[in-house]
Amino acid sequence: LAETNQPSFIESYEGQEVNIACNHTNIVANEYIFWYPQFPNQGPQFIIQGYKTNTTNEVASLFIPADRKSSMLSMPYASLRDTAVYYCIVSAAQ
């Protein structure tokens, strides 16, 4: 697994776009980037994944630059129910 580094805290306002960066400088060719929020009193829940290209679903977007050494999770409209610990994980696809 590649080592990841991300901010420990991000503050936002209701309705504001939220962007969470993750650095993974030692990512290797066959590894994907996964994001999981963990809401209070729950296990982590898959939100989005990507490999080499930007990806968007109904919840979030994942932006991946060409060198793949970082990524950014973007959620267009923050709400109180989005309060969670967000994990960026780099791993071979399962």
Is 8 among the domain residues?
A: no
The stretch 15-32 carries a mean pLDDT of 91
Is 9 among the domain residues?
A: no
Q: Residue 32 maps to which CATH number? A: 2.60.40.10
CA-wise closest residue to 70 among 37, 40, 7, 27: 27
Is 1 among the domain residues?
A: no
What confidence tens digit (pLDDT) does each residue in 28-86 have?
Answer: 888 999 999 999 999 999 999 999 999 999 999 999 999 999 999 999 988 999 999 99
Answer whether 33's CB lies under 8 Å from 49's CB.
yes
Is 43 among the domain residues?
A: yes
Q: Using DSSP, how many helices (H) and how many strands (E) does the chain show?
A: 0, 7
Is 67 among the domain residues?
A: yes
* pLDDT over 90 (residue 93): no
What pLDDT score was predicted for residue 94? 60
How many domains does the chain fold into? 1
What pLDDT score was predicted for residue 7? 74
Is 31 among the domain residues?
A: yes
φ, ψ for residue 82 (rounded to 5)? -85, 0
What confidence tens digit (pLDDT) does each residue in 47-60 have?
Answer: 999 999 999 999 99
* Segments forming the whole domain that contains residue 54: 18-92
CA-wise closest residue to 3 among 29, 22, 30: 22
Is 34 among the domain residues?
A: yes
Is 23 among the domain residues?
A: yes
C-alpha 83, offset from chain centre: 14
